[in-house]
Chains A and B, each alone.
Chain A
């Protein structure tokens, strides 16, 4: 217990300790295990886990560094524990959400009934940056749009889970979730004994099954590939990792050619037909004939093959419309509209700058709010009101007034905290959770997800590009 002595939940919702300082019952066995480690042993094991990441090359590139320095994604060895009941609730909520999002995307790219019924104002959809009107009326394989969703969940002061955003384009991080588990198991095998932690290793299998499911169908052995932007991309490690775990080829744009509306890859024995592409390239870059003409990463003619139904893409083209933070606001309405159900998971209250009353409120309360650009991710294009300087606030005031459609605001949610080893002591740090939802033949969610930690004291930004780290996430069997 030594390491947790003097640990202070600090008035936040803490994942391990209640407000009274007593350990939460589902964390008690884990805390006892940590109690058996002395600090020296703990540090040696922690260093071991870091060495594992370094040796495996599980690093991300630090841009603008000409020595090409690579850093490991900081890993905290104290796991985050989710009890079985809580997870059931999350699973049901996330499943409900991905089903509704897919119904919405089908609708938006076909009859647009939800717009005709004025449940969502047409203007918002048509003005969404990633809406692809050129794909209206195109049927996609298996009628699935978001095959892999990486929704970000946070927990407020009340301990309730909220969905912060749905990442339905190219969510990344699943490899870290898998490698965190590997690293922790290697460095702290003792922690796992008799804890009833649900395994996570089914993820690559689930992913591959989904890719097979959406194959436009030629035979039982579809050729699936993972399309990467290339080895300079920050998520390149993940692309390789997943391709290898699934046993599929990882390809770059230049490896693929389209001949008579069929996609092929260039092999040492000539061209080989491809049925399914798990693409990690944005719509904008995927086909220079249709989208950005200067893209050197994409495959010319790919969209024609896709439209002709000769190849499946995961995720589909145009899913970004559902990622728009303005559209996010309407997800609970989608759930009610398409499924006739109450949303199981809550949204964070959101103010839309293009609604007059909301705009007035936003501009009047900037120092208390979080403002976000509708189409940015990775912690960019964001104003954290309470910690922002006057100059930053003024800058956002201008940005919002100039382009209200592109901004939303939310109250600051003081994310829950979890004990994290910080330079010699266990301290509370804010965390979020990104589960990975796979939608194929059915919906599969790997137990847990990636827990990201804001390592800087008091920071609420967990993105790796902004000094975030991660933890292993345990979902308990009972």
Chain B
């Protein structure tokens, strides 16, 4: 398949997955807030700050907002067009990607994503965010899940599918580590106001893992949750599971047997998978949970970069490109030229 198309499908699914995860994160924490006693603004900040920190966007947030109260954080993560990672931005980007490969998608798949996009831009959506947030986030999540379901039932199991799966699992692994990371930012004082178990169960619920976890362990403890969300071999949002799927997809694409590698993406993934397969929860806590999770995120990024290098950039194959010096790299110029093309 075309390299550009592979890259676009990968990002389309990544953005949908990202929006879905964000919707879970906000929804769960908003509900958690309902359980707490009245919080003063300091406590409120203490509640939301970890969530912003865990998304990795704290710099962008603090340039846009002075306060980290509920309204600001929710606005920023949900429908602030200035945040490229807000839910509405993610959906718009996913749709933009879908538009450029529209010919590769089933009608139903496109329609679902387009409907979600139209919803996030509708007046109804802006109203629901304030008046009935669970409904808003519920709509986003249902639609995102429907999208993935339609993708699963209408996409041939060939490279198209493998690149979509790559995007989904890398994004999922990343988000699971970020949800866990919320715990590392909790201020010590929060423990007094909120029992830790509430926070850990919120993390499980953000990952849709509460039920699955309970079937596996009765009491909710930090170790138990980390063990489950990082090392579970069977839970579909655990880091290990996602990395395993990534490894499977990469080898299906290349045709190389698993356990070997023929490109950097496979090598990075294989190595990470071995660490997870043979790792134990103690390692995660040995140097502090945050550092451990941060290192994982760095490795996901390296895998993502290697996928791009191996299948899209292909530097070893494209040096033969005459007159490359004529190509202006300005996106604006390209945009203008695309529009100028007269279609009679």
* In the assembled complex, B311 has its CB within 8 A of some CB on chain A: yes
* In the assembled complex, B216 has its CB within 8 A of some CB on chain A: no
* In the assembled complex, A289 has its CB within 8 A of some CB on chain B: yes
- The CA of A232 and the CA of B118, in the complex, are separated in Å by 19
Q: Which of A291-307 contact B (CB under 8 A)?
A: 293-297, 300-301
A243-B103, A267-B3, A268-B6 are contacts. A259–B320 as well, Cβ < 8 Å?
yes
CB pair B314–A57 under 8 Å, yes or no, is no
* In the assembled complex, B36 has its CB within 8 A of some CB on chain A: no
* In the assembled complex, A37 has its CB within 8 A of some CB on chain B: no
Interface centre among A54, A266, A297 (most CB of B within 10 A): A266
- The CA of A251 and the CA of B330, in the complex, are separated in Å by 19
CB pair A150–B344 under 8 Å, yes or no, is yes
* In the assembled complex, B2 has its CB within 8 A of some CB on chain A: yes
Q: How many Å from the CB of A248 to the closest CB on chain B?
A: 9
CB pair B321–A257 under 8 Å, yes or no, is yes
CB pair B341–A281 under 8 Å, yes or no, is yes
CB pair A57–B110 under 8 Å, yes or no, is yes
CB pair A170–B333 under 8 Å, yes or no, is no
By a CB distance below 8 angstroms, the chain A residues around B314 are: 266, 270
CB pair B2–A249 under 8 Å, yes or no, is yes
Q: Mark B303-341, 1 if CB is under 8 A from A, else 0.
A: 000000001101001101111101111100111011111
By a CB distance below 8 angstroms, the chain B residues around A259 are: 320
* In the assembled complex, A280 has its CB within 8 A of some CB on chain B: yes
Q: Mark B23-51, 1 if CB is under 8 A from A, else 0.
A: 00000000000000000000000000000
CB pair A234–B103 under 8 Å, yes or no, is no
Q: Pick the residue among A250, A254, A282 that contacts B342 (CB under 8 A).
A: A282
CB pair A235–B343 under 8 Å, yes or no, is yes
- The CA of A54 and the CA of B324, in the complex, are separated in Å by 39
CB pair A234–B323 under 8 Å, yes or no, is no
Q: Which of A60-114 contact B (CB under 8 A)?
A: 61, 63
* In the assembled complex, B4 has its CB within 8 A of some CB on chain A: yes
CB pair B326–A169 under 8 Å, yes or no, is no
* In the assembled complex, A229 has its CB within 8 A of some CB on chain B: yes
By a CB distance below 8 angstroms, the chain B residues around A270 are: 314, 317
* Total CB contacts across the A-B interface at under 8 A: 140
B interface residues, how many (CB within 8 angstroms): 47
Q: How many Å from the CB of B90 to the closest CB on chain A?
A: 15
* In the assembled complex, B184 has its CB within 8 A of some CB on chain A: no
CB pair A300–B3 under 8 Å, yes or no, is no
CB pair A266–B334 under 8 Å, yes or no, is no
* In the assembled complex, B107 has its CB within 8 A of some CB on chain A: yes
A246, closest chain B residue (CB): B103
Interface centre among B103, B314, B323 (most CB of A within 10 A): B103
CB pair A296–B2 under 8 Å, yes or no, is no
- The CA of A377 and the CA of B342, in the complex, are separated in Å by 8
CB pair A288–B337 under 8 Å, yes or no, is no
A290, closest chain B residue (CB): B323
CB pair A231–B341 under 8 Å, yes or no, is no
* In the assembled complex, B159 has its CB within 8 A of some CB on chain A: yes
Q: How many Å from the CB of B26 to the closest CB on chain A?
A: 24
Binding site for B on A (CB under 8 A): 54-57, 61, 63, 150, 167, 169-172, 229-238, 240-241, 243-244, 249-252, 254-255, 257-259, 265-268, 270-271, 280-282, 285, 288-289, 293-297, 300-301, 323, 377-378
The 17 sampled A-B contact pairs (Cβ below 8 Å) are A57-B102, A57-B114, A170-B343, A243-B103, A252-B4, A259-B320, A266-B318, A268-B253, A268-B312, A288-B323, A288-B326, A293-B326, A296-B327, A296-B337, A301-B322, A323-B344, A377-B344
Task: Please provide the 7 A-B residue pairs with the shortest distance between their CB atoms, ordered closest to farther.
Answer: A244-B103, A172-B343, A300-B323, A240-B102, A235-B343, A167-B344, A232-B338
